[in-house]
Amino acid sequence: MRILADENLHFEIVQGLRRENHEVFFVPEIGLAGRRDSVILDYAEKRKLIVVSGDKDFGGLIEFGTLWGRGKVILLRYHIINPQKIVRDLNQLFGQEDKILLSKESLVIILSESGYRIRKHVKAKK
């Protein structure tokens, strides 16, 4: 998978995903640290990247707010940060949902210790 790791992601998660042969762009490494969520999402959309973030506000903007219908975001909602478990869970998610992740233009996936749920954007009919 091609991933844009938000700046709030633990660097061990970024390294773990890279070890699993995912193409990972890390927000601080590409000069986007401190930028607004909309800028991060624009960057990801233009490059067909999946944003992985632990930022609840970012997820809220995508799922319920002004950015709904834009981009692909995996929102991590773990109570205990265990980078190895999170990398395993992400890999499992990528394996199970690769068709959706690659085919949909917009979706939000909430991933936690208990599993995941997917919210797909559906365009309104005119």
Total structural domains in the chain?
1
Q: Looking at the domain assignment, is residue 125 inside a domain?
A: no
For residue range 69-98, what is the model confidence (pLDDT) as tens digits? 677 889 999 999 899 999 999 999 999 999
pTM: 0.88
Question: What is the DSSP secondary structure assignment for residue 49, as one 8-state letter?
Answer: -
Average the pLDDT over 1-28 and give the result. Answer: 97
Q: Which of 32-41, 54-63, 89-98, 99-108 is predicted with the least confidence, judged by mean pLDDT? A: 54-63
Query: Residue 19's domain is classified under what CATH number?
Result: 3.40.50
What is the mean predicted confidence (pLDDT) over 12-38?
95
Q: Which residue range(s) make up the domain with 92?
A: 2-120
Contacts of 88 (CB under 8 A, 6+ apart): none
How many residues in the chain? 126
**CB contact at 8 A, 2 and 47:** yes
